Structure 1
Amino acid sequence: MSAIFTIIAPVFLMIAIGYGAMRQRVFSRDQFDGLGKFVIKIGMPMMVFNAIATRPIADVFKPEYFYGYTLASGLLFFISWYATKKRGLDSKLAALNGLAVGMSNSGFVGYPLLLMAIGPAAGVYFAMNVLTENLLILPLMFIFLDLAKGGQTDYRALFVRIGRSLLTNPIIIAMPIGLVFAFGWLPLPVFMDKLFAMLAAATSPLALLMIGGNLYGMSIRGNVKDMAWVAFGKLVLCPLMVFVCLWLAGAGEDMIFAALLFAATPMPSLYALFGGLHGFAKETSGAMLMATLLSVIPISLVLMHYR
C-alpha cells in the first residue's frame, strides 16, 4: 500500500500545487501556457524519441498493445457518442463526449504515473498511445463536429487540416527520427542520455502543474447527471473496455497494466478546450473536473492489482 501511495501522492500533489499556484496568481495564464508549450513541443517529443532510439526495433512496437488499445479507444468513442445522442443532447457535445471517453490524458497524467511505476519503458507505451490518439480519436472528433454543423462537409479540406496537424506535431515527428537509431542505422551519442535525463526530470512535474493550473476556474455546475455519466464512461467503462480488448489481442500482463493505468486517467484538457470553443464550456469543464478528482480511485485499484 505504501508503494502505491508513493506513486500516486506526488502526481496529485503536483496537480494541487499547480491549482494553488494559479489560485494565488503565482503564475499568469500566459505563463502557464508557456510551460505547456515547453512540455508539448520539447519535453515530451524528446522523451518519446529517447524511448524509441535507445531500444532495439523489436521492443519499440508492441502489436498486441497497439491494436488492442486502438480497438478499445475507437469503440469507446462511438459508444459515448451514441449514448450522448440517445439522451437527446446536442450532436456537437456527443462528438466531444466521444473524445472524453475514448481518449485519456496520456501525456500529462498517464505518462508520469507509468514512468514512476515501470521506469523509462513507459515512453514506448506513451508513443503508441500518441499514435492512437492522433490517427484515430482526434480525427473522429473533428469529423463528427463537422457533421454536427449540418450542411455539406468539405472532407478534402477537413483531411488536409488533420494531416497538417499530424505532420506538425512534434511528438509525431520524433517517432520516425527515433526509429533511425532503433534500427541501428546511426549510433546514439552518449551525451544524449544526460540530456534526456534532464528533460525527463523537468517535463513530468511541469505536465502535472499544467493540469492543476487548467483545473482552476472550473466548477461542477449545470446537469450534474450528464457530467457523471461522462466521468463514469471515462473512469469505469474505459478501463474495462481496454482490459477486454487487450486480453483478446493476446497482450501480456505488463502491457495490460500499462494500458489500464493510461485508461484510468481522466480525459485530456483538449475536451474542455474544444468544449469552450463550441459553446459547451460548463458541461465539459464540469465533467473534466469531476473525472480528475475521482480518477484517484481507478488509478489506485489498477496499481493495487498489478503492483
Structure 2
Amino acid sequence: MTAIFHIIAPVFLAIFVGYAAMRRQFFTQEQLNGLGKFVVRIGMPMLVFNAIATRPMAEVFKPEYFYGYSAASVLAFFIGWQVSRWRKLPPTLAVLNGFAVGMSNSGFIGYPLLLMAIGPSAAVYFAMNVLTESLLIFPLLFAFLDWSKGRGTNARTLLLKIVKNLSGNPIIVAMPVAMVFALGWLPLPLFVEKLSSMLAAATTPLALFMIGGNLYGLSIRGNVGDMMVVAAGKLLMCPLLVGLCLWLAGANDEMLFAGVLFATTPMASLYALFGGLNGFAKETSGAMLLATVLSIVPISLVLLLMAH
C-alpha cells in the first residue's frame, strides 16, 4: 500500500498544486495556456521522440498492445455513444460522451502514473496510445459530430480531416523522425538524446500542473445522473474492455497493466473543449470534473491488483 501511495500521491498533489495556484491567482489563464502549448507542442513530442529513438525498433512497437488497446477504445466509443442515445441525450452530446468514454487522458495523467510504476518504457505505450487516438478516435469523433448535426461526411472530407490531424500533431510528426534512429539508419547524437531527455523530464510535472489549473472554475451543474453514467463508462467499463481485448490479443502482464492503467484515467481534457465549442460546456466540464475526482479509486485498485 505504501508503494501505491507513493505512485498516486505525487500525481494528484501536482494536480492540486495547479488548482490551488489558479485559485490564488498566481497565474492567469493566458499564462496557463502558454504552459499548455509547451507541453503539447514541445514536451510531449520530445518525450515520444526520446522513447522511440533511444530503443531498437523491436522494443518500440508492440502489436498485441496496439491492436488490443485500439479495439477496446473503439468499442468503448460506440458503447458510450449508444448509451447516451438510449438516455435520449442530444445527438451531439451523445457523440461527445462516446469520445469521453473511448479516449483516456493518456499524456497528462496516464503517462506520469505509468512512468512511476514501470519506468522509461511507459513512453512507448504512450506513443502507441497516441497512434490509436489519432488514427481511430479523432476520425470517429469528427465523422459522428458532422453526422449528428445533419452534415454528411464523405470519404474525401474525412480523409482530409485525418491527414490534417496527423500532419498538424507534433507528437505524430516526432514518431517517423525518431524511427530513423530506432531503425539504425542514423546514429543518435548524444546532445540530441540529452536534449530530448531533458525536455521530456520537464513535461510530466507541467502537464499535471496544467490539468489542475484547468479544473479551477469547473463545477458539477446539471443532470448529475447523466454525468455519473459517463464517468462510470470511462472509469469502469473502459478498463474492463481494455483488459479483455488485450488478453484476447495475447498481451503480456506489462502490456495488460499499462493498458488498464491508462484506461482508468479520466477522459481527455479535449472533451470539455469540444463540449464548449458545441454548446455543452456545462455537461462536459461537469462530467470531466466528476471523473477526475473519482478516478483515484480505480487507479488505486489497478495498482493494488497488479502489485499482487
When the two structures are superposed, what TM-score results if normalisation uses the length of structure 2? Answer: 0.97
* Stretch moving more, 152-161 or 278-287: 152-161
* Residue matched to 2:198: 198
Q: Distance in 1 between matches of 2:227 and 2:182?
A: 43
Helix, strand or coil at the partner of 2:251: coil
Change over 3 Å in CA distance of 1:152–1:121 after alignment to 2:
closer
* Residue matched to 1:288: 288
* Residue matched to 1:144: 144
| 1:131 maps onto 2:126 in alignment | no
Query: How far does the alpha carbon of each residue in 1:201-248 deviate from its partner, in whole angstroms, 9 at most, with x for none?
Result: 210000001100111111111100000000000000011000000000
Q: Distance in 1 between matches of 2:269 and 2:197?
A: 26
Post-superposition offset of 1:154:
4.9
* Residue matched to 1:114: 114
Match runs of 1:10-159 below 5 Å = 10-159=10-159
Q: Supply the RMSD in Å over aligned alpha carbons.
A: 1.0
Q: Distance in 1 between matches of 2:231 and 2:73?
A: 15
Helix, strand or coil at the partner of 1:214: helix
* Residue matched to 1:257: 257
Query: How far does the alpha carbon of each residue in 1:40-76 deviate from its partner, in whole angstroms, 9 at most, with x for none?
Result: 1111101101111111111110000000000000000
Query: How far does the alpha carbon of each residue in 1:123-149 deviate from its partner, in whole angstroms, 9 at most, with x for none?
Result: 100000000011101110111100011
Q: Distance in 1 between matches of 2:94 and 2:293?
A: 22
Q: Distance in 2 between matches of 1:208 and 1:15?
A: 5
For structure 1, list consecutive stretches of 5 or more residues without a partner in the other structure. Answer: none
Q: Distance in 1 between matches of 2:274 and 2:285?
A: 10
* Residue matched to 1:266: 266
Q: Name the aligned partner's letter for residue 83 of structure 2.
A: A
Q: Distance in 1 between matches of 2:128 and 2:154?
A: 30
Give % identity: 69
Post-superposition offset of 1:153:
3.6
| 1:243 maps onto 2:233 in alignment | no
Post-superposition offset of 1:118:
1.1
Contact preservation (8 Å) 2:50, 2:197: no
Q: Distance in 1 between matches of 2:164 and 2:249?
A: 32
Helix, strand or coil at the partner of 2:121: helix
Q: Name the aligned partner's letter for residue 38 of structure 2.
A: F
Query: How far does the alpha carbon of each residue in 1:248-305 deviate from its partner, in whole angstroms, 9 at most, with x for none?
Result: 0000000000001100100011000000010111110000000000000111111111
Q: Distance in 1 between matches of 2:222 and 2:75?
A: 28
Q: Name the aligned partner's letter for residue 271 of structure 2.
A: Y
* Residue matched to 2:220: 220
* Residue matched to 1:276: 276
Q: Name the aligned partner's letter for residue 192 of structure 1.
A: V
Helix, strand or coil at the partner of 1:45: helix
* Stretch moving more, 154-163 or 68-77: 154-163
Q: Name the aligned partner's letter for residue 35 of structure 2.
A: L
Q: Distance in 2 between matches of 1:269 and 1:66?
A: 22
Q: Name the aligned partner's letter for residue 55 of structure 1.
A: R
Change over 3 Å in CA distance of 1:151–1:105 after alignment to 2:
closer
Q: Distance in 2 between matches of 1:91 and 1:134?
A: 23
Contact preservation (8 Å) 2:52, 2:60: yes
The count of residues paired between Structure 1 and Structure 2 equals 307
Q: Name the aligned partner's letter for residue 98 of structure 2.
A: G
